[in-house]
Structure 1
Amino acid sequence: MPADSRDPRDPRDPRGLRDPRQRRAPRKKPITVERITDAALEVVATEGYDALTIRRVAAVLGTGPSSLYAHIVNKDDIDDLLIGRLYAEVTLPEPDPAAWREQLAGVYTQIRDLYLKYPGVSRAALAMVPTSLETLRVGEGILAILLAGGIEPRTAGWARDALSLYVSAYALEQSLVRQRRRHEDPEWVLSHEELLTRFTALPPEQFPQTRAHAADLISGTGPDRFEFTLGLLMNNLGPTAG
């Protein structure tokens, strides 16, 4: 067939080469651990931790779940990546024996604030064995602060677990309260005034102490109570005698 009789719809030139003006589909970005972590954080930030699944993360990345399994084993791996990413933002002080309680409170306050930025993400830290280097870095820093305060190693380890558990639980409770407020669920989230009214309206013969001290029982803000509980835990720690 003569060269000039080829089908004009044929995108190739007479030499069999593709017309360079024809646009190619852009290549997809490769799936990486960093991109998986970014997508997981996006899901938690916009939809909450309950929405976090491997399938949902894959959808954000525009791929299928099987593409993620080259980088993770299961959702526990995503949890570890999430906490590691958050802990990378935690600043650790040089342990000071004279100020170890203040330093410890400062580190845990940073962790609390990071958890509160992503609704429910503190659940990822519960019952998780950390493998992320950033998570381990923060754990090492907390342990170093406790040891600098003269706390015996086993006590320091148990105290770190107890403090971390409280901070995770506090942040999780706050996220649940926020969620219920968004859904306008008055049965679960009461105003200060409504709660005071309910307590003071209880039968006096059954609840004399609750009625008498209702204002004290519901006093203080969330941060006030957070600082109080950290202090309560830390003030029971001290250098080993001898």
Structure 2
Amino acid sequence: MTPPTRLSWKDVRDEIHKAILSGRYGPGDRLPRDADIAEEMNCARSTVQRAMQDLSDSGLVDRRRKGGTRVRAEPVTRATLDIPITRREVEQRGGRYGYQLIRRVEETAPHSVLATFELTTPQPMQRIEALHFSDGRPYILEDRWVCPETVPEIRDLDLTSQSANEWLVLNKPYSRCDMRFFAITAEPQMAELLETEVGAALLVIERTTWIETAPITTVKAITAPGYRLLTTS
């Protein structure tokens, strides 16, 4: 009889990762002990430890000696480039954060948004436009689409006090993120909101996230003149 194949550390890592992405373990939740996971998955404890170390290095979990392992409060914000919480970004730069919800509607997504999400069938989505401030000055203008089929909670959220940016980073882990950077010239309405001149060059950061193949959100973050992007590794 051929003995059952023992899982590799990558297999264990992927299973734990899936459990986090599915919501089985949410932000701040404590994971089972390494020994219990090893018993459940029929593998060596050292295999679990190697898997957990990789998850920790990736920013998904926080391991503390005698404190166990917990899902990080922002479980998947660490990537080649971070998906920042704009409020924290402003505050970490020493600024006073402000936020304004401009418009929120549910409507059939246009073809350009469907194409970004890699969808072919029209469906209703939430469009959320908001403005973030630093020291009372416009900082980032967001034009965001959220898929209620993947994020049903979005319909009931009060987005007048907390931004969709912050709620999604904290509550909706993703398995895939596409990012694009490009420049545009400010149109009149955009220039008015960002308090800049019509025709000014503006950096746009476009991010789209999925959980497996299900779309979560796509956003164009239009930055005010002088915005600087920093990434560290």
TM-score normalised by L of structure 2 = 0.28
Q: Give the TM-score normalised by structure 1.
A: 0.27
Higher relative helix content:
1
**Quick check: which one's strand share is greater?**
2
